[in-house]
Amino acid sequence: MMIFDVLTLFPGIFVSPLQESILGRAAKQQLLQVRLHNLRDWAEGKHQVTDDTPYGGGDGMVMKPEPIARAIADLKAKMPHAKVLLMTPQGKPFSHQAACELAGEEGLIFLCGRYEGFDERIRQTLVDAEYSIGDFVLTGGELPALVMIDAIARFIPGVLGCSDSAATDSFSDGLLEYPQYTRPAVFSGMAVPEVLLSGDHGRIARWRREQQLRRTWQRRPDLLQSAKLSKEDQQILEQVQRESSEAEK
Ligand code: 4FV
């Protein structure tokens, strides 16, 4: 069973998302466990202070190192090999690949920030990796932690039903997914592509691959640098690019 320990000042933010749907079922099936810890429990004094003003002045508050150091020490006492992850806009971009790798860990400890962020010495001594879920600023690290737990959980065997597997995901082969269709065959005058009704699985697979390459080229050409493309893919891509440059003429 994979253990996700979450260190946060607002454990309530996690409750319902982790009870619903796939994550809720996975927890019931003991495929994973998310343990929520209130950072304030490791803060000293009757006010259990977890933040303070920044040295050198400036707005906002900074999260103090001591409560976090005590909390991580206690959690790692129970799971020495757990990786400590800090969510921050300064982190490396979280990705499908990262989710796949992190799903191989025995346990993960998510450090959710608030205010202006963490005392720098936390990063230097207590954190194994820093991840960002995007170039924008949130009010806290809780939603990034939830996003990462959801993406990582999909790689835990048994979490996704048999019909659905992370192996056929967008990004699993570095490309965006092909368009999907379901009944009715015609919806407000728009028909499902005939090839998908043909039953010819070879033609369908080729059409889907072409759609993946076209869509990735149109929407995320940056992904094509790192995508694993076969000779045939290259040919399809050149044809797609030729067609669209002719269309522009
Ligand atoms: C964030 C992100 C993020 C910054 C200050 C929490 C906030 C506050 N984390 N990807 N984007 N964090 O905006 O991961 O502490």
pLDDT tens-place string over residues 186-214: 999 999 999 999 999 999 999 999 999 99
**Assigned token pair, 70:** 């005590």
Helix 201-219 vs helix 231-248: angle between axes, to the nearest 10 degrees? 60
Query: Would residue 157 show up in a list of annotated catalytic residues for this protein?
Result: no
Tell how far the Cα of 89 is from the centroid of ligand 1, in angstroms: 5
Q: What is the pLDDT of residue 163?
A: 55
Q: What is the pLDDT of residue 162?
A: 59
Nearest CA to ligand 1 atom 11: 89
Q: What residues does ligand 1 touch, defined as CB less than 6 Å away?
A: 87-89, 91, 113-115, 117, 132-134, 136-138, 140-141, 144
Measure the CA–CA gap between 180 and 222, rounded to whole angstroms.
Answer: 23
Query: Would residue 183 show up in a list of annotated catalytic residues for this protein?
Result: no
Residues 81-108: tens digit of each pLDDT: 999 999 999 999 999 999 999 999 999 9
Least Cα distance to 25 among 145, 144, 146, 154 occurs for: 154
184: preceding bond cis by omega (within 30 degrees): yes
Pocket test for ligand 1, best of 137, 143, 148 (most atoms within 8 A of CB): 137
Q: Taking the chain, what is the end-to-end CA distance rounded to the nearest angstrom?
A: 57
Query: Would residue 169 show up in a list of annotated catalytic residues for this protein?
Result: yes
What lies within 8 Å, CB to CB, of 23 at 6+ separation is 17, 32, 34, 149, 150, 153, 159
138 CA closest ligand 1 atom index: 13
Has residue 166 got a pLDDT over 70?
Answer: no
Has residue 171 got a pLDDT over 90?
Answer: no
Query: Would residue 74 show up in a list of annotated catalytic residues for this protein?
Result: no
Tell how far the Cα of 84 is from the centroid of ligand 1, in angstroms: 16
37 strand-pairing partners: 7
Helices first, then strands: H and E counts in the chain: 8, 9
